[in-house]
Amino acid sequence: MKNLTIRNLSKTYFDPYAGTNVTAVHDVSLNVGQGEFVCIVGPSGCGKTTILNMIAGFIPHTGGEILVGGRPVKGPGPDRGVVFQSFALFPWRTVLENVAFGPKMRGVRKAEREKIAHEYLALAKLTEAAGRYPAELSGGMQQRVGVVRALANEPDVLLMDEPFASVDAQTRMTLQEELTRIWQEKRPTVIFITHDVAEAVFLANRVIALSKGRVLEEIDVDLPRPRSWDSLNDDARFKELSGRVRQLVRSA
């Protein structure tokens, strides 16, 4: 796992309908240390997905630089794993094969990659589902597979774009608790995008509040871990931090 450095990042799109340029990201700088969990939060259209897609190397940036472990990002690569809102699993592969896919692409031999996949599936309490196909799983389970599939590839940075947005509220809370537990165990470097303030504060070590493509403020989240909704729901510090972030986002 390596650190991520973003310096003066910007992105301008050409809007063919208006015939003008739209600056979606302005001069964003960010340092994410190895093993940190950073959430980027902000209202719809503030540039969250654009930032994530540039870090992933899916779209080029128009200004500034992105470095992973000191190396500039020039396109997608296995050093960055991505988890999307839509689960994007391979429907024709079993859960085990989905999770073993990354190691397979890295040339890891079958017995070894299946061992890795079983370890990650156990971490996400998915051992029983190893032989099933994605269509045979609930949405929450599919998203759990998506998360461990990305982790099994052991990326330097794990990029998550509203991964829990399409599951019901109860499942979402369970997934959030599980993600914090898995993160504590494996300590990947995570950039997690969301517009849900409580989710951001619950998960992160640091929350970046974004508005109109600019960083408004960075808020350190000093809540103890492990985190659970039962203990944080009525926690004064959780409420205080969420209130602060909510205020920033609303003023955005």
Ligand X SMILES: Nc1ncnc2c1ncn2[C@@H]1O[C@H](COP(=O)(O)OP(=O)(O)OP(=O)(O)O)[C@@H](O)[C@H]1O
Nearer to ligand X, 44 or 251 (CB): 44
Provide the minimum distance between the beta carbon of 91 and ligand X in the complex, in angstroms, as a whole number. 25
Q: How far is CA 32 from the centre of its chain?
A: 13
Q: CA 76, CA 62: separation in Å to the nearest integer?
A: 16
CA-to-CA separations, 205 to 29, 39, 122, 137, 193, in angstroms, rounded: 17, 8, 25, 31, 14
Could you tell me which of 162, 156, 147 has the C-alpha nearest to residue 80?
A: 156
Q: Nearer Cβ to ligand X, position 46 or 232?
A: 46
CA 47 – CA 210 distance, rounded (Å): 8
**Least Å from the CB of residue 248 to ligand X:** 14
> Collapsing DSSP states into helix, strand and coil, what is residue 138?
coil
Closest approach of Cβ 195 to ligand X, in Å? Answer: 5
- CB of residue 187 vs ligand X: minimum separation in angstroms? 26
Q: Judge if the upstream peptide bond of residue 226 is cis by omega within 30 degrees of 0.
A: yes
How far is the CA of 182 from the CAs of 123, 148, 188, 230, 241, in angstroms?
A: 7, 9, 9, 18, 23
Nearer Cβ to ligand X, position 23 or 174? 23
| Contact criterion met (CB below 8 Å) for 153 and 76 | no
Residue 159 C-beta: closest distance to ligand X, Å: 13
Nearer to ligand X, 15 or 128 (CB): 15
Q: State the nearest-atom distance from the C-beta of 146 to ligand X, in Å.
A: 18
- Min separation Cβ 14 and ligand X, Å: 7
- Footprint of ligand X (CB under 6 A): 13, 15, 22, 24, 42, 44-50, 195
Burial class (CB in 10 A: 0-12, 13-18, 19+), 82: buried
Q: What are phi and psi of 5, to 5 degrees?
A: -125, 130
Nearer to ligand X, 18 or 236 (CB): 18
**Residue 28 or 89 having the CB closest to ligand X:** 28
State which residue, 44 or 135, has the beta carbon closest to ligand X: 44
Tell me how long the chain is.
252
